[in-house]
A and B are shown apart, each in its own frame.
Chain A
Amino acid sequence: AQSVTQLDSQVPVFEEAPVELRCNYSSSVSVYLFWYVQYPNQGLQLLLKYLSGSTLVKGINGFEAEFNKSQTSFHLRKPSVHISDTAEYFCAVSLMNRDDKIIFGKGTRLHILP
């Protein structure tokens, strides 16, 4: 079975500071990796995805993530956060070439401090 672990349920960070949201996954087969974001009162929005190729993936709003197969990690980073980045972030996986279901982590709430 596959699982996704987001180590931090909440992360406070000052505006314009860098941030890293951690994600580790467990799977016996190859997976696709995703980060989704949910802004207040909105639906889930795809931030970025890793399917294959370069392990450094760039997404929207200045976010990027790096796939590390040996550590089974897919941490999300942004060099300088803005108040508008206040949201909940979800790491997720889906099985390559198999069923379509997405398996999510529990989410990390990013609080931007002024």
Chain B
Amino acid sequence: EAGVTQFPSHSVIEKGQTVTLRCDPISGHDNLYWYRRVMGKEIKFLLHFVKESKQDESGMPNNRFLAERTGGTYSTLKVQPAELEDSGVYFCASSLRLAGQQFFGPGTRLTVL
């Protein structure tokens, strides 16, 4: 069974540009989560989808970040326009049920120059 996959693995963009990160959860997992680790800091929760609905988006830093999960399968996280402080590693996780074990992807390393 395939695990959680994320694309791209690395992205380098300039300040002001737009970047879209993609996450494919484990098949059948209704719950999908986004986390972010800014350099030198802890991994922080961004938001949680249950199927296509946003269950909790309390961790989204500002309105430059837009997450979608159309059809309840894969999810995208768009940053527009990107700022220097958005650099970091973006992790996606999925779980079969609420409060179930979250399985993490390898992350996308975003560098904003």
| Centre residue among B40, B56, B104 by max chain A CB count within 10 A | B104
Query: Per-position contact with B for A76-111: 1 when CB-CB < 8 Å, else 0?
Result: 000000000000001000100101111111110000
CB distance from B42 to the nearest CB of A (A): 5
Interface residues in B1-55 (C-beta closer than 8 Å to A):
3-4, 31, 33, 35, 40-45, 48, 55
In the complex, which of the residues B3, B41, B95, B105 contacts A100, with contact meaning CB atoms closer than 8 Å? B95
A100, B98: Cβ atoms closer than 8 Å: yes
CB distance from B1 to the nearest CB of A (A): 15
A45 contacts chain B at the CB level, 8 A cutoff? yes
Contacts of A44 in B (CB 8 A): 43, 91, 93, 104
In the complex, which of the residues B33, B98, B106 contacts A41, with contact meaning CB atoms closer than 8 Å? B106
B62 contacts chain A at the CB level, 8 A cutoff? no
Report how far A101 CA is from B57 CA in the complex, Å: 10
In the complex, which of the residues A42, A90, A94, A99 contacts B43, with contact meaning CB atoms closer than 8 Å? A90
Contacts of B63 in A (CB 8 A): none
Number of interface residues of B (CB under 8 A): 27
In the complex, which of the residues A41, A43, A103, A106 contacts B41, with contact meaning CB atoms closer than 8 Å? A106
B81 contacts chain A at the CB level, 8 A cutoff? no
Contacts of A107 in B (CB 8 A): 42-43
| A43-B106, A100-B55, A102-B33 given; 18 more Cβ-contact pairs under 8 Å | A43-B3, A44-B43, A44-B93, A90-B43, A99-B48, A100-B33, A100-B95, A101-B45, A101-B56, A101-B59, A102-B35, A102-B45, A102-B102, A104-B42, A104-B44, A105-B42, A106-B41, A107-B43
A interface list, Cβ under 8 A from B: 4, 36, 41-46, 49, 90, 94, 97, 99-107
B interface list, Cβ under 8 A from A: 3-4, 31, 33, 35, 40-45, 48, 55-56, 58-59, 91, 93, 95, 98-99, 101-102, 104-107
